[in-house]
Amino acid sequence: MGNCCSDVAGGREAAGGRAAAAGNDAANHFLKSRGMYGSQMELSFSATNLRDRDVLSKSDPMLIGYTKGKDGTLAEAFRTEVVLNSLNPTWITKHTITFEFEVVQTLVFRAYDIDTQFHNIDVKETADALDFMIGMLKLEEQQFLGEASCVLSEVVTRPSRSLTLDLLYREDPTMSGNPRHCGQLIVHAEECISSKTSVEMVLRCSDLELKDLFSKSVWAIEILFLVVLLRHFMRNINNGFVIYLQDPFLLISKIVEVGLPIPVCKTEVLKNDHSPAWKPVYLSIQQVGSKESPLMIECFNFNSSGKHDLLGKVKKSLAELEKLHSNGEGENLFLTTTVGHNHQNKVLKSQLFVDKFSQGSQRTFLDYLAGGCELNFMVAVDFTASNGNPRLPDSLHYLDPSGRLNAYQRTIIEVGEVLKFYDSEKRFPAWGFGARPIDGPVSHCFNLNGSNNHCEVDGIQGIITAYTSALYNVSLAGPTLFGPVISNAALIASQSLANGGKKYFVLLIITDGVVTDLQETIDAMVKASDLPLSILIVGVGGADFKEMEIFDADKGERLETSSGRIASREIVQFIPFRDVQSGEISVVQALLAELPSQFLSYMRSSNDIQPNI
């Protein structure tokens, strides 16, 4: 979640199950709504060569910033102070904004020459003065100097994190024609230090035991013995007791407001271990609030149904966890029990230990971007016959004459419009699978542009154009195979790495059905987990995609090849299109929320790619 992950190489998957996934969705919404999720960016502003609108002196400029919604509406975000008599102002007022990777954050800036009656109001002095300024100053009565806009991603991906924009002015906004250039606006972004300050911890538990599953009666032993055989959890039977081995993981939550726990981090699941030591976890100070903020650390026994068994918990702040490490002490876990109307904490013999605690400044997702790393977008489209005849309205590939996008087009555009800002060349590999090209056999990985030599197209519109053209030049067939496409993407990633490239690749697979080559796909995914590659899968149509959830570590156990090799990290995110189509969250938000942490899990565990910072 966020920048918190176990990112040392070797078999660490976040705990899965529906219950945990739902909790993380709630946490995302809560943290975002309070500005505690994502990197905090401080924006500063200056301008050059502004228009001079005053007769006896120079312009007195003020800058107003807006955020632009998906529907095009503007919401005012900030106003700077007025700089007197300057055509090249540097404003002192800063604006803090939360960078959200999975959202296109469009910013609009408007500069005004402010009437002299407002010059003596210091908008930085008091809230009352600011309210007075906002209430009294009518923008339509001020002289407009020019407007500029950008996407926040364009700023943060620059090596200098500075972007120069042309300020444009149109005499009559209702008239067409080219606007006048009226100076330049420079936007500079700095990542707040709290976004980078993080704590690395290695956590361990001792003597874990399942609650209320111990009995000396013969009847209970027989029942439990059957359960043990079915679930393969029995270790031994000794003196009439059934002893289990657990599959434990930790869930770390921040306690806010009226004691509400909000998940911020979870470890991998360790199989068959009653004294587990997990891979390092990283918590940013920004995520938890401060080192003194209380945290709830819960230890669960993993259950594939998502109904995980609580083994015990502790309530400690980062400062208290640091003290446990310094003193070499453990903290007993407890369970809350209900006796009548009272709640009591039952102390267990199980203990939590902090084997490592270190605080420092971690390279963040934005550090890598500013240091020259890029994201390369790749697309693979399902052309199997189960999509239906593209010429008929009930087909998933139907091209509506009215311009209404089908699910394939919408997914490509929504995901591509976010990722395109992180690739300077904007040339994207695009493939199709499960179709028969003209006069050829069924292909499970063909270039969407029809070329025999290269798979790249120019821009997101290039993908849409190639997709549309392919619908008229191939025959839908089958079966649904992911293996060849994933192997092709992995080959490109490995070649880029070998050539010293600083790219991380993101493969989007859009499909209408469950894969036929399930084990081959898993084998390809596990192999790809060692490479700078993430795989996003969107299921469109009405098929039952339950089997696809095995690919996503959030909804199942870690991937394992037919030869027993475990994925080195989580690289797959699966979303059924229908699950988010009518909700508040978009396809792109649901898909891309975990991509920065997947990116960091590779970068921090590998010395292959380093930012130039």
Q: Domain check: are 468 and 594 in the same one? A: yes
Tokens 């632009």 locate to 68
Alpha-helical segments (H) within 459-538: 459-471, 483-498, 518-528
Calculate what percentage of the chain has a pLDDT beyond 70.
78
- Count CB atoms within 10 A of the CB of residue 449: 22
- What pairs with residue 109 in β-bridges? 65, 148
Tokens coding 31: 């943290």
Q: Read off the pLDDT of residues 437-456 as tens digits, 9 standing for 90 and up.
A: 887 899 999 999 999 899 99
Residue 311 lies in a domain: yes
Residue range 562-570: average pLDDT?
88
Residue 11 lies in a domain: no
* Burial of residue 131, with CB atoms counted within 10 A of its CB: 0-12 exposed, 13-18 middle, 19 or more buried: exposed
Farthest-apart Cα atoms in the chain, separation: 101
The CATH number of the domain where 174 resides is what?
A: 2.60.40.150
Domain end call among 191, 207, 236:
191
Residue range 172-177: average pLDDT?
58
Domain end call among 191, 218, 241:
191
Q: Domain check: are 315 and 370 in the same one? A: no
Q: Domain check: are 352 and 377 in the same one? A: no
Residue range 36-40: average pLDDT?
62
Q: Read off the pLDDT of residues 278-328 as tens digits, 9 standing for 90 and up.
A: 999 988 887 787 889 899 999 999 887 778 899 999 999 999 999 999 999
Residue 15 lies in a domain: no
Question: Is the per-residue pLDDT at 465 higher than 90?
Answer: yes
DSSP 3-state percent helix, strand, coil across the chain (nearest 5): 25, 35, 40
Q: How confident is the model at residue 522 (pLDDT cuts 50, 70, 90)?
A: very high
Number of structural domains found in the chain: 3
Closest C-alpha among 11, 108, 119 to residue 57: 119
Note the pLDDT of residue 4. Answer: 42
Q: Read off the pLDDT of residues 397-419 as tens digits, 9 standing for 90 and up.
A: 999 999 999 999 999 999 999 99
Residue 12 lies in a domain: no
Closest C-alpha among 182, 109, 115 to residue 142: 115
Three-state SS for 156? helix
Omega before residue 479 within 30° of 0, cis = yes
Q: Domain check: are 512 and 572 in the same one? A: yes
CB 266 within 8 A of CB 252: yes
Q: Domain check: are 379 and 526 in the same one? A: yes
Note the pLDDT of residue 323. Answer: 96
Phi/psi of residue 260, nearest 5 degrees:
-70, 125
3-state secondary structure 108-134: EEEEEECCHHHCCCCCCCCHHHHHHHH
Q: How confident is the model at residue 136 (pLDDT cuts 50, 70, 90)?
A: low
Question: Is the per-residue pLDDT at 29 higher than 50?
Answer: no
Residue 544 lies in a domain: yes
- Count CB atoms within 10 A of the CB of residue 414: 19
Residue 589 lies in a domain: yes
CA torsion, points 454, 458, 459, 465, in degrees to nearest 10?
A: -80
Tokens 């821009």 locate to 459
Three-state SS for 25? helix
- Count CB atoms within 10 A of the CB of residue 475: 12
Q: Domain check: are 433 and 538 in the same one? A: yes
The CATH number of the domain where 437 resides is what?
A: 3.40.50.410
Question: Is the per-residue pLDDT at 162 higher than 80?
Answer: yes
CB 77 within 8 A of CB 66: yes
Q: Domain check: are 342 and 386 in the same one? A: no
Q: Domain check: are 502 and 547 in the same one? A: yes
Q: How confident is the model at residue 7 (pLDDT cuts 50, 70, 90)?
A: very low
Residue 476 host element (H or E): strand 474-476
Q: Domain check: are 434 and 558 in the same one? A: yes
Q: Domain check: are 537 and 522 in the same one? A: yes
pTM reported for the whole predicted model:
0.74
Question: Is the per-residue pLDDT at 519 higher than 50?
Answer: yes
Q: Domain check: are 205 and 341 in the same one? A: yes
Distance between CA 127 and CA 129 in Å, rounded? 5
Using the CB atoms, write b or e for 576-587: b if 16+ within 10 Å.
bbeebeeeeebb
Q: How confident is the model at residue 609 (pLDDT cuts 50, 70, 90)?
A: low
Note the pLDDT of residue 300. Answer: 93
384 or 342: which leads in pLDDT: 384
Domain end call among 164, 191, 218:
191
* Burial of residue 346, with CB atoms counted within 10 A of its CB: 0-12 exposed, 13-18 middle, 19 or more buried: exposed
In angstroms, what CA-CA distances link 206 with 55, 203, 328, 347? 79, 10, 14, 14
Three-state SS for 56? coil
Note the pLDDT of residue 234. Answer: 42
Residue 299 lies in a domain: yes
Alpha-helical segments (H) within 70-217: 127-136, 152-156, 193-196
Note the pLDDT of residue 513. Answer: 86
Where in the sequence is the domain holding 48, given as residue range(s)? 40-191
3-state secondary structure 374-430: EEEEEEEEECEHHHCCCCCCCCCCCCCCCCCCCHHHHHHHHHHHHHHHHCCCCEEEE
How does the average pLDDT of the chain come out, rounded?
A: 82
Question: Is the per-residue pLDDT at 602 higher than 60?
Answer: yes
Least confident of 127-141, 151-165, 480-494: 127-141
Residue 610 lies in a domain: no
Note the pLDDT of residue 36. Answer: 37
Q: Read off the pLDDT of residues 181-238 as tens digits, 9 standing for 90 and up.
A: 899 999 999 988 766 788 999 999 999 876 444 333 334 444 444 444 444 444 444 4
Q: Domain check: are 240 and 322 in the same one? A: yes
